[in-house]
Structure 1
Amino acid sequence: MIRFLKGLVLLPVTIAVILLAVANRDPVRLSLDPFSPETPVFSLTLPLYAILFGAVALGIVVGGIFAWLGQGRARRQVRHRGREIRRLEGETARLKAYAPPEPGTPGAMPNRTALPVPR
């Protein structure tokens, strides 16, 4: 069901992207030199769709980096809690090894608290 919905959303997006690329094939000069607009030192001549797709890809990468950095505190807490869980599981196993067996199990000692105390 999710695959169908994903396809239902991605198919129109794919068609729109292909139409955008076909409609914007003309080369455009991208100048990276703000001080000399007539004769830029750093410029590229690319199709407009390539510049748009590059800008979107750069936005996705930068957004992903900032999202990853923003989740640092949560990842640190997960690591800390994982170490604490492993420590407590080890302590529980160690205490179970030294605990007396439960009454009614083979090899268990009789319940001594039920014996009468001499006066």
Structure 2
Amino acid sequence: MLLRRILTLVLILPVSIGLVMLAVANRHPVTLVLDPFAGALSAELPLFVVVLASLIIGVALGGITVWLRQGRYRKAARSAGREARRANAQVESLRAAMSDSRPRVPLAPGGGLGPIGPAALPDRRDAA
């Protein structure tokens, strides 16, 4: 936890100081024209606002682009997760069936599986 705080300070503090220096050094107003033909859509803003807004918009557009391009991988991961859950459920049901089932083959006198058929059954005439 302490290492995380130190890393945050080491990374965030210089970036914050740099942004404040950028804002102080670039306070003079610039005209931002959004309509190049008529010039009707324009705004006069400090330069640092234009620069920071451009950075924020660029990061947002980049994140959206990456998110859209990785959609097929997220879909494949969801599909694999569903398939894994289905397989685990099937394994559990088979384990439950195996533990509940009783052997259907008669056991030989030594405890192993004997031959299957009428010859494997004890003769009732000998028991009497």
TM-score range, shorter chain: 0.7 to 0.9
2:22 matched residue in structure 1: 20
2:13 matched residue in structure 1: 11
Q: Tell me the secondary structure at the aligned position of residue 43 of structure 2.
A: strand
- Provide the rounded CA distance (Å) in 1 between the counterparts of 2:78 and 2:11: 36
The structure with the largest alpha-carbon Rg is 2
Q: Tell me the secondary structure at the aligned position of residue 83 of structure 1.
A: helix
Q: What TM-score, normalized to structure 1?
A: 0.80
Higher RCO (C-alpha 8 Å, min separation 6): 1
- Structure 2: which amino acid aligns with 1:112? L
- Provide the rounded CA distance (Å) in 1 between the counterparts of 2:85 and 2:113: 40
Q: Deviations over 1:26-50 (max 9, x none)?
A: 11100112224xxx11101111111
- Structure 2: which amino acid aligns with 1:81? A
- Provide the rounded CA distance (Å) in 1 between the counterparts of 2:33 and 2:88: 61
Q: Give the length in aligned residue pairs.
A: 111
What are the ranges of 5 or more consecutive residues in structure 1 without an aligned counterpart?
102-107
**Identical aligned residues as a percent:** 39
The RMSD of aligned alpha carbons is 2.4
1:112 matched residue in structure 2: 107
Q: What TM-score, normalized to structure 2?
A: 0.75
| Deviating 4+ runs (over 4 angstroms) | 115-119
